[in-house]
Amino acid sequence: MQLSQFGGKLLRTPSVLNKRACTPSKVTMASALQPASKNRQFGGWNMRYKVKSTSLDNTETVFTVYFPPAAEKQKVPVIYYLSGLTCTDENFIGKAGEGQWLLLGEVGVALVAPDTSPRGLNVPGESDSWDFGVGAGFYLNATEPKWKAWRMYDWVVTELPELLAAQFSDKLDLSRSSIMGHSMGGHGAMTIALKNPTKFKSVSAFSPICNPTQVPWGIKAFTGYLGDKDKEAWKQYDSTELMKGYKGPHLPLLVDQGSADSFYSGAVNQLQPAALEEACKAAGYPATIRMQDGYDHSYYFISTFVDDHLNHHAKALGLN
């Protein structure tokens, strides 16, 4: 396998670095939030927490928050990062490269990374395949009774922000939030942003599943979580379908896709960025959708372009 990284150059020159600079869930978790780990990093703190989520059927879940140095003195804006299939909240935290922490620290932005599904429920079949069940929540609200705990949409959109606002009112400015993600998480970031445009200032995605109602990954997940009797209901979790009828404000949208991504260039195109691009053009929605030559689906790809994405959000958040 050939991996292309940083275009063959070990350079990082984003403008910010050069400057140095659904039904809402009611939650009362002030005493339930428990620290799981604490790590100092580039002058800030990576904090991992665990909590029982009402959205996830009172399952204990985890999430990580990176507090930049500025959060010790003032409230800072937030970027939510949603991970992909098989991942946890820690994948991006550990693999995206030091550049993200330098940039987040210098511009003063917190990063919040939730897990990708409920865990530990031992639902029959939850671990039978890597693309459904554990590690594969698809950021939707399941309607099939067996998967009633799989309500990642409510967790990310409502309960988690309410929890952050209640617990960190002196550190986080939730009125200035953006959202991004990778693969399944890119799908989640875009659908959540399009369904809740007033909650976010911008959205971006690496290798997102752009048209899940039309590809095997999405069809499998939606059939299992939502059932196959009302396939129109699937469209509320498909960014391409949402874009076709979109009437809301135009959040700045950045998408990067690698040309050597096996999920894009292989026998089955699970990602379908062209479908999203066509829908954006038809809707008159300005979007930057870039094909990156030679890059794959991995964190080598993400770490190469993560500064672009963080700068994209920093601009929308009024920081550059």
Backbone torsions φ then ψ of 104, nearest 5 degrees = -60, -40
Considering the candidates 89, 256, 261, 296, report the single residue annotated as catalytic: 261
- Does 261 participate in catalysis according to the annotation? yes
Judge whether 116 and 88 are in contact, CB under 8 Å.
yes
| Neighbour tally for 136: CB within 10 Å | 24
Half-sphere exposure of 216 (CA within 13 A, CB side): 7
Judge whether 240 and 253 are in contact, CB under 8 Å.
no
Considering the candidates 297, 309, 312, 313, report the single residue annotated as catalytic: 297
Considering the candidates 83, 117, 178, 183, report the single residue annotated as catalytic: 183
- In three-state secondary structure terms, 96 is coil
Task: Give the residue among 180, 198, 176, 165 at the shortest CA–CA distance from 318.
Answer: 176
- Does 297 participate in catalysis according to the annotation? yes
Residues in the chain: 320
- In three-state secondary structure terms, 114 is strand
Residue indicated by tokens 């690698």: 258
Q: Which residues have a catalytic role annotated?
A: 183, 261, 297
